[in-house]
């Protein structure tokens, strides 16, 4: 089944409101609207920039989606500092990154937390917010050789208790930690090996539905390496960090997915 590629720009903790609006406007100016027939494009600004960035694309009538970098699973309540799914809905978010390795590493997010967030996001389909579930091994795990088992366990844990119908629109992003922000990209073969294994795991969990679920690669993707990575059979797009902060680089990566 043909899967529409997704290019997702993870801005991380970068850009104040003014900077975010400028970057969104630059992306909007350089993007040809008909590219979006062939590729889905989304950006993931910090929470404080979500609404202004959404408004830039809305004003330009450009179908670039906006997503959040994190969410809490409870709908409301005494959870100081957290942001809920209904809040993201109210802003118009179409996606939410879950379980990024920086959240696992610096903020102690566990596989159980990731599972609760994914389950909450896919539970209510009225106004979909599709999770982008991040998985990936450290350099130590890669060197030791058990990376396929490690990633498979992360995928199974993230989707525990979730059925195929609910999981159908979820996205998985393979992001080897040793490739994030390091300039050391996985080779297309290394990335395909793990993305193929992720698809097999999804097949085991969800049967035929796995063929329609998108699997992205992330980790130092840039305009120079995107085309080869995106040409792999099980890589359906990219989760782009550093290179998504410059409109020209991000646009080149979008073009590589066409």
Active site residues: 100, 175
State the greatest distance between any 2 C-alpha atoms of the chain, in Å, as a whole number: 50
- Kindly indicate which of the ranges 31-39, 68-76, 206-214, 237-245 contains the residues binding ligand PGA, using the contact rule CB under 6 A: 237-245
If one asks whether residue 225 binds ligand PGA (CB under 6 A), the answer comes out as: no
Please report how close the Cβ of residue 44 comes to ligand PGA at its closest, in angstroms: 9
Strand partners, 96: 68, 131
Give one DSSP letter per residue of 177-241, joined into a string: GGGTTSS-PPPHHHHHHHHHHHHHHHHHHHGGGGGGSEEEEESS--TTTHHHHHTSTT--EEEES
Beta-sheet pairing, 6-10 with 237-240: parallel
Q: Which is nearer to ligand PGA, 166 or 214 (CB)?
A: 214
Please report how close the Cβ of residue 221 comes to ligand PGA at its closest, in angstroms: 5
Give the whole-angstrom CA distance, residue 229 versus residue 235. Answer: 7
Please report how close the Cβ of residue 29 comes to ligand PGA at its closest, in angstroms: 23
By CB under 6 A, name the one of 5, 7, 10, 178 that touches ligand PGA: 10
Joined tokens for residue 36: 């979006």
If one asks whether residue 242 binds ligand PGA (CB under 6 A), the answer comes out as: yes
By CB under 6 A, name the one of 50, 66, 239, 257 that touches ligand PGA: 239
If one asks whether residue 221 binds ligand PGA (CB under 6 A), the answer comes out as: yes
Please report how close the Cβ of residue 228 comes to ligand PGA at its closest, in angstroms: 16
Please report how close the Cβ of residue 226 comes to ligand PGA at its closest, in angstroms: 11
If one asks whether residue 9 binds ligand PGA (CB under 6 A), the answer comes out as: no
If one asks whether residue 45 binds ligand PGA (CB under 6 A), the answer comes out as: no
145: DSSP letter: T
Length of the chain as a residue count: 258
Give the whole-angstrom CA distance, residue 238 versus residue 175. Answer: 10
Number of residues that bind ligand PGA (CB under 6 A): 13
Tell me the residue ranges of DSSP E strands in 21-170: 40-44, 65-68, 95-98, 130-135
- Kindly indicate which of the ranges 32-40, 201-209, 239-247, 249-257 contains the residues binding ligand PGA, using the contact rule CB under 6 A: 239-247
Segment 201 to 220, residues that bind ligand PGA, using CB under 6 A = 218-220
Residues 227, 41, 159, 104, CA torsion sign: positive
Nearest to 43 by CA among 22, 74, 4, 69: 69
Kindly write out the interface string for residues 147-186 of this chain, putting x where it contacts ligand PGA by CB under 6 A and - elsewhere: ----------------------------x----xx-----
List residues near ligand PGA by CB under 6 A. Answer: 10, 175, 180-181, 218-221, 239-243
């Amino acid at each position: 089944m043909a899967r529409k590629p997704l290019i997702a720009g993870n801005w991380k903790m970068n850009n104040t409101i003014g900077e975010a609006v400028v970057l969104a406007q630059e992306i909007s100016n350089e993007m040809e609207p008909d590219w979006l027939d062939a590729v889905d494009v989304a950006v993931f600004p910090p929470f404080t920039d979500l609404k202004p960035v959404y408004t830039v694309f809305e004003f330009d009538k450009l179908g670039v989606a906006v997503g959040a970098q994190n969410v809490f699973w409870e709908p409301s309540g005494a959870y100081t500092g957290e942001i809920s799914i209904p809040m993201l809905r109210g802003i118009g978010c179409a996606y939410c990154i879950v379980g990024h390795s920086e959240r696992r590493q610096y903020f102690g997010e566990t596989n159980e937390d990731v599972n609760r967030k994914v389950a909450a996001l896919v539970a209510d389909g009225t106004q979909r917010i599709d999770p982008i579930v991040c998985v990936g091994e450290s350099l130590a795990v890669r060197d030791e050789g058990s990376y396929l088992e490690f990633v498979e366990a992360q995928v199974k844990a993230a989707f525990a208790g979730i059925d195929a119908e609910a999981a159908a629109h979820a996205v998985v992003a393979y992001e080897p930690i040793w490739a994030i922000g390091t300039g050391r990209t996985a080779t297309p073969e290394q990335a395909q090996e793990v993305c193929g294994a992720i698809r097999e795991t999804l097949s085991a969990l969800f049967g035929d539905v796995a063929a329609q679920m998108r699997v992205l690669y992330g980790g130092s993707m840039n305009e120079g390496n995107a085309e080869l990575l995106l040409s792999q059979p099980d890589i359906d797009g990219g989760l782009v960090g550093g290179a998504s902060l410059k409109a020209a680089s991000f646009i080149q990566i979008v073009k590589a997915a066409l």
